[in-house]
Amino acid sequence: MVEAPRIYVAGHRGMVGSALVRALKAQGQADIVTRTRAELDLTDQAAVRAFFSREKPDQVYLAAARVGGIHANNTFPAEFIYQNLMIAANVIDAAFQAGVKRLIFVASSCMYPRLAEQPMREEALLTGALEPTNEPYSIAKIAGLKLCSTYNRQYGESHGVDFRCITPSNLYGPGDNYNPDTSHVIPALIRRLHEAKLRNTPAVAIWGSGKAMREFLHVDDMASAGLFVMDLDKAVYAQQVPPTLGHINVGYGGDISIANVARAISDIVGFKGELVYDSTKPDGAPRKLVDSSRIKNIGWKPLVSLQRGLELAYQDFLEHNS
C-alpha cells in the first residue's frame, strides 16, 4: 500500500491556497500541513528552512503571495517585488534542501508581455515589455518560475527534483479579497455595486475605459488544475512542457470586456444605476487571454461558467463581508 503524501500548502488562508486545501480534502488527502503568516513568515529564510527540516513534506503547493489590483500594485511596488521574490526563493530552495521532489508554483498570466499575441502561449514569456502597472509583481513571479525550471535543470537527474509551474488567468471566487484599496476587478466591482445598491447611488464610476479584455477563471477550477498537474506522470508532463518552457497555462478559454463583466455583476447584485467609466485611470494590458491548449490536451477542463462563478462569488461576499 502506497503511503499518502504529506502535503504543504503555502498560503492556505488566501483565495488560491484555501481552494487548494478544499480540493485536496475532497480528494481524500488527510496529511495537509499549513501555517498562518503569524506562525511562519515566508520572507524569513531561516524560519522557512527550519519549518521544512522539521515537517518534511513530500509535496508543496506554493500559493502564498502578496497580491492586489492595479491600485495596490501602483501604490506598493517595492513590497510587491520584495515579498514575492523572498517567498518564492525561500520556499523553493528550502523544499529542495529538505528533499521535496514535487512542487507546484502558482504563477500569474501577468508575467506575459503587455502586447503579447493573443491568446498567449507559454512561449510568449520574456518576448516583450511587461505591463508597467504590475511589473514588479510580474518580475517576482517570473523569478519563481525560473527558480523551478533551473532547479529541475540542475538537480532533476541527480536528485529527482520535479518542480512544476501553473500560470492561471485572472482568478476569482470564494475567499477573494474585497478590500476596495487592494482588490482585483471582480471583487472590487462586487463590493462597490453592492454598496451602491444599498445606498441607492445613481451611478458608479469604474476605473478605465471598460474596453480592456480579461479572461476570468474560477479559483476552484484553478485548484483542480493544480492537483491535476501535481499528479501527472513525469513523462506526460514533460511531453507537454519541455524544460525550455517550465510552465503550463490554465484558463477558462474565453475572455470578456471589463464593461460586460461589470454589467453582469450589476445584474447579479441588483444595482439599477448607471455605470460610468473613468478613462483617466489605467486600463492595464489591453487584453489577457491565455492559450490553455496544452493542459486541455492532456485531459483537464474548467467546470464553472462565468455566470455561475459570479453568482457564487456574490454569495461568498454576502456571507463574509456584508
What residues act catalytically? 137
Pairing of strands 213-214, 256-257: antiparallel
CA distance 5 to 24: 11
CA-nearest of 285, 140, 272 to 212 is: 285
All three cell numbers of 53, joined, read 527540516
13: exposed, middle or buried (C-beta count within 10 Å: 0-12, 13-18, 19+)?
Answer: middle
Name residue, grid cell 507546484.
104
Name the residue with cell 471598460: 210
Task: Tell me how many degrees the CA angle 167-172-176 measures, rounded to the nearest 5.
Answer: 115
Residue count (the chain): 322
The answer to whether 284 and 156 have CB atoms below 8 angstroms apart is no
